[in-house]
Amino acid sequence: MKNGAGNLFTLAFVVCCCLSFGFVSGLMCFSCTSSDDCKLPKKVNCTERLANETLSYLNKYYLNVPSANTTRDMNCLSDRLLTESGVVAHMGCIYSSVYGCGYTVREEFQFTWLPKLPYNTCHRWDDSNPAARAGVSLLTIVSAIIVTVLASAVWCK
């Protein structure tokens, strides 16, 4: 009977792993679309729609930004740009095939008399929220232990 419980444990562990990884949303990024909005950005699960919004933002303000994504892998992007009309800001998801930082600012948005201000910043990172993944792994382990205890109780009677 203990062998049956061991097999059941293995099966339960595999099922829990499959279920939990099915619910892992992947990358989470902060998201906002204006300077005011970026004062309190929301944390969101990355989607193609959000990556396309960031791509549109980059194409509006920068030159030579790729217009098509070549991968479903994503990164996070935070960009602030000082223009003559004020600061524009965007935080969100971006396709990993789009670098996101280092593109040339379009001429109509260049603010040439105050170069290199700290407001002109861009950060791109590809951390896929390790804390969320650790939480899912812990959930998987706890679920497997509970299923094992219940299975042992049933099989050992």
110 belongs to a structural domain: yes
57 belongs to a structural domain: yes
- Contact between 55 and 43 (Cβ < 8 Å): no
Average pLDDT over all residues of the chain: 74
pLDDT, tens digit, for every residue of 64-95?
998 766 677 888 999 988 888 888 999 999 98
Residue 135 has pLDDT above 70, yes or no: no
Sign for the CA dihedral angle at 83, 88, 89, 94 comes to negative
97 belongs to a structural domain: yes
Which single residue is written with the structure tokens 């896929």? Answer: 128
Average pLDDT for 50-69: 89
- Contact between 109 and 64 (Cβ < 8 Å): no
pLDDT, tens digit, for every residue of 104-122?
889 888 876 555 445 567 7
How many domains are there within the chain? 1
Percent of the chain scored above 90 by pLDDT?
Answer: 29
Domain limits at 118? 27-129
Residue, of 109 and 13, whose pLDDT is higher: 109
48 belongs to a structural domain: yes
53 belongs to a structural domain: yes
Q: pLDDT class for 21, splitting at 50, 70, 90?
A: very low
Q: What is the pTM of this model?
A: 0.62
Q: pLDDT class for 62, splitting at 50, 70, 90?
A: very high
For 60-125, give the DSSP string.
Answer: HHBSS--SS---S-EEEEEEEEEETTEEEEEEEEEETTS--SSPPBPGGG--TTSTT-TTSEEEEE
Burial category of 94 from C-beta neighbours within 10 Å (exposed 0-12, middle 13-18, buried 19 and up): buried
Residues across the chain: 157
108 belongs to a structural domain: yes
CB atoms within 10 A of CB 38: 19
